[in-house]
């Protein structure tokens, strides 16, 4: 059974997706939870705190230090990309469990971007560094053909992951994990020729 705080965050997230931050009043947020005003305010002092909790739970936690971990010097590109794709799928699955429309992720990202842009840039930079380090390792081992620099490979991989997931949403494909794995495997195969 979910705890009260988590249930409030999920209910609020649905409303933020449906109406946006500005369109959801605290009274609306309390009503959608089915709890008393006091119960909601016991956990969250105001709408902004509740919005921050929804952002953390449905977005930022997937890009935290544990999720975009430092790469060991011997971690190859396959392992790093598999890990990043798995994290992306977990993020989409967490959102889909509450809001079945997978496009909700993209609406949510663009709605919170002004609030999290700096943090997100940092996490993207960390992921880029992690991919580039793995590509550099594979290049050094002779696993990849030296036709591209590791930073270029990192940019391609980040774009490929985000783009593949977006295409799955637009095309209504359910198996994002398989699509991501196939796209990444095909790209890495090209780098090995």
pLDDT in tens, 135-177: 999 999 999 998 899 999 999 999 999 999 999 989 988 899 9
Q: CA 172, CA 141: separation in Å to the nearest integer?
A: 39
Tell me the whole-structure pTM to 2 decimals: 0.83
Query: Hey, where are the domains in the chain?
Result: 4-57, 59-191
User: Tell me: the pLDDT tens digits for 98-130?
Assistant: 988 888 888 888 889 999 999 889 999 999 999
> What mean pLDDT is predicted for residues 31-45?
96
Q: How far is residue 134 from each of residues 29, 86, 131, 151, 154, measured CA to CA in Å? A: 44, 17, 5, 10, 9
Mean pLDDT of all residues in the chain? Answer: 90
Do residues 92 and 165 touch, judged by C-beta distance below 8 A?
A: yes
Which distant-in-sequence residues (6+ apart) come within 8 Å of 1 by Cβ? none
Domain 4-57 classified CATH 1.10.10.60? yes
Give 94 or 81, the one with higher predicted confidence.
81
């Amino acid at each position: 059974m979910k705890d009260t705080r988590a249930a409030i965050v999920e209910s609020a997230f649905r409303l933020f997706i449906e109406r946006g931050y500005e369109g959801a009043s605290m009274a609306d947020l309390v009503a959608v939870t089915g709890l008393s005003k006091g119960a909601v305010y016991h956990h969250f002092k105001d709408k902004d705190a509740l919005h921050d909790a929804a952002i953390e739970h449905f977005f930022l936690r997937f890009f935290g230090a544990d999720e975009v971990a430092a790469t060991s010097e011997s971690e190859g590109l396959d392992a790093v990309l598999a890990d990043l794709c798995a994290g992306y799928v977990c993020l989409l699955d967490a959102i889909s469990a509450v809001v079945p429309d997978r496009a909700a992720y993209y609406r949510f990202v663009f709605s919170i971007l002004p609030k999290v842009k700096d943090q997100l840039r940092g996490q993207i930079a960390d992921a880029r560094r992690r991919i580039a380090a793995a590509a550099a390792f594979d290049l050094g081992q002779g696993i990849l053909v030296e036709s591209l620099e590791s930073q270029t490979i990192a940019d391609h991989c980040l774009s490929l992951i985000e783009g593949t997931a977006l295409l799955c949403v637009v095309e209504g494909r359910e198996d994002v994990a398989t699509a991501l794995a196939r796209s990444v495997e095909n790209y890495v195969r090209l780098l090995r020729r």
